Amino acid sequence: MCGSEHTISPSLVTLSSKAKSADLPTAAICTPLSVQSMPPNTHFKKNRLLASLPTTEWKRWSASLESVEMPLGHVLYEPGVALNYVYFPLTSIVSLLYVMENGASAEIAVVGNEGIVGVSLFMGGESTPSRAVVQSAGLGCRLKAQLMKDEFNKAGPVLHLLLRYTQALITQMSQTAVCNRHHSLDQQLCRWLLLSLDRLEGDELVMTQELIANMLGVRREGVTEGALGLQKLGLIKYARGHITVLDRPGLEKRTCECYAVVKREYDRLLPSGISA
């Protein structure tokens, strides 16, 4: 957890001040997440991994899952810091970032309601290699790290589910590397928008260009130019930190194949959307 004992990197300070200028929630960048006791836990099943748990497992888990609000920019993990919880995004999106010595970062994967944040935990790691930051505000829930480990060690259907998720995540990471190497900023931007959109309920993202630039590891001017281009083509609308996707098929046409490769693997390996 991100407590006061951890230093905030310069990039995150920028992130928070940027959020403020765009009238976005600035609270809790580095304060404990507020834990909600209400509403009843069936909404946890908005997370597809949780939704696909067998009844026995679901009963056992649902008693221990805690609902949490995930405000934009909140840091769930810093690299190398012990993991206390694993997180299941419900309506939020979490970005896994690789942080360099100089503070620059690049996104290596996004996790939304199809996944879990903290896979390192059940592979023998006590901490994660990356920073996990809330990229799109919303709800999530969390489970104590020890409980997660116990569940994983019980083997059975949970183990299988989590392993498959890990493989899907590996594909996303590899494809991110490929995309970083070979594709234009414009294509990457489209990929990033589509991956985010798949993890949201509506067609609107609350997001500053600065944040996108941080995620993609590029300069802000590049993102501005790319976003303007997409807007001119009528694919998106961008106004004061809100991006609305107007023409999804248009974006799919414009992006590189990385999006399709990742989507296909996620569809193949993970349970399909099951509503509670």
Q: How far is Cα of residue 234 from the mean position of the Cα atoms in its chain?
A: 26
Of 3, 20, 4, the C-alpha closest to 210 is 20
Min dist CB 212 to another protein, Å, is 14
Q: Is 231 in the site for another protein (CB under 8 A)?
A: no
- Residue holding tokens 């004061």? 240
Q: Is 217 in the site for another protein (CB under 8 A)?
A: yes
Min dist CB 117 to another protein, Å, is 13
What is the DSSP-derived secondary structure letter of residue 9?
Answer: P
Cβ neighbours for 7, distance < 8 A, ≥ 6 positions apart: none
Size of the site for another protein (CB under 8 A): 42
Q: Is 151 in the site for another protein (CB under 8 A)?
A: no
Where does 38-111 show beta strands of DSSP type E? 66-70, 75-77, 85-89, 93-99, 105-111
Min dist CB 24 to another protein, Å, is 26
Q: Is 263 in the site for another protein (CB under 8 A)?
A: no
Q: Is 235 in the site for another protein (CB under 8 A)?
A: no
- Identify the residue among 13, 27, 82, 100 touching another protein (CB under 8 A): 100
Three-state secondary structure call for residue 60:
helix
Q: How many residues does the chain have?
A: 276
Q: Strands 242-245 and 204-206, how do they pair?
A: antiparallel
Site mask, another protein, residues 164-193, x = CB under 8 A? x-xx-xxx-xxxxxx-xxxx----------
CB-nearer residue toward another protein: 90 or 212 = 212
* CA separation for the pair 162, 152 (Å, rounded): 8
Min dist CB 155 to another protein, Å, is 9
Cβ atoms of 276 and 263 within 8 Å: the answer is: no
Which residues here bind another protein, judged by CB under 8 A? 96, 98, 100-101, 104, 106, 108-109, 119-120, 122-125, 129-130, 160, 163-164, 166-167, 169-171, 173-178, 180-183, 217, 256-258, 261, 264-265, 269
